[in-house]
A = this chain, B = another copy of it.
């Protein structure tokens, strides 16, 4: 297909009988240039609807103005919100983003990295997959001199900027809240422990129990493989225990939704018989029955800050390693609202 001939700097130069360098200088108002020539160039450029060829620019300047983003999955509302933040911040600075999904697979994540590096992105923002354990691919990015920023799911041992929420505190507070509502046997559905977040949330949960003089019962800790299919299974397992929980701290709101569903099907009442609290404050949580208490993580803000840090590093052109912790917020609703007896 014939792309309607795009106008280049050459066309302008030819029409004006001057050299391309002059045109370039007029357009970029770089060096000294005769105001009159500049005027003429600008006018003609406007008239011809000249658009600089970004590829040529990239080649010349060795920068693409694209930042790569790798997230586990787009359909996860947390990440799609974060992308919003990244995009807004990036576009403010004249950058575009190229998003890849790892589908929670370490292998695909590795391919994503390759793809982005090959596309010569100016930097990479990533939230790692559940499977990710090796530092190698990330070290490779750093070694190539490509700025790298982690958000939410970080690899803590690497010296790069990181943005995350106060997972420990969030879990501590959520658990404490359940305890204050009178729960004493609180189950925790944990994510895979290779994730830094999961480890700290678990610790926050445990420390809250300890600080309230409650025992830590391993029986009440579920290590979820996170496939939605087994929520019903482990919920039933918990409820079938000789000494079942009177509170559940779910892995996220989707999990909590299904947990509540299972609990209700068994004829138990929420929050009277058992309290449930989620994580991430999903869209539907205000409308469930009962409405679901949750922890709100400012996803958009995490993404925005991640982009901010990345752009800072790109600009400064030297590695920084700033760690930012963004506060979360406990959202209290009916699933944990009960009168303490």
Binding site for B on A (CB under 8 A): 1-4, 51-56, 58-59, 62, 64, 66, 73-75, 77, 80-81, 83-84, 87, 91, 96-101, 115, 117-120, 143-147, 254, 257-258, 260-261, 264, 282-284, 287-289, 317-319
Contacts and interface: CB of A to CB of B under 8 A. Distances in A.
**Interface hub of A58, A81, A144 (most chain B Cβ within 10 A):** A58
A119 to B, nearest CB: 6
B145 A1 contact: yes
B51 A59 contact: no
Chain A contact surface mostly: mixed
Contacts of A317: 1
Contact of A98 (B98, B143, B254): B98
Contact of A2 (B58, B145, B147, B284): B145
A143 B287 CA distance: 47
Given A66-B119, A96-B98, A96-B115, 4 more contacts: A1-B319, A2-B145, A4-B143, A53-B120
Contacts of A118: 51-52, 54
A117 to B, nearest CB: 8
B101 A87 contact: yes
Contacts of A56: 59
10 closest residue pairs by CB, A with B: A3-B145, A74-B80, A284-B284, A261-B287, A75-B80, A289-B289, A55-B58, A257-B287, A1-B317, A55-B59
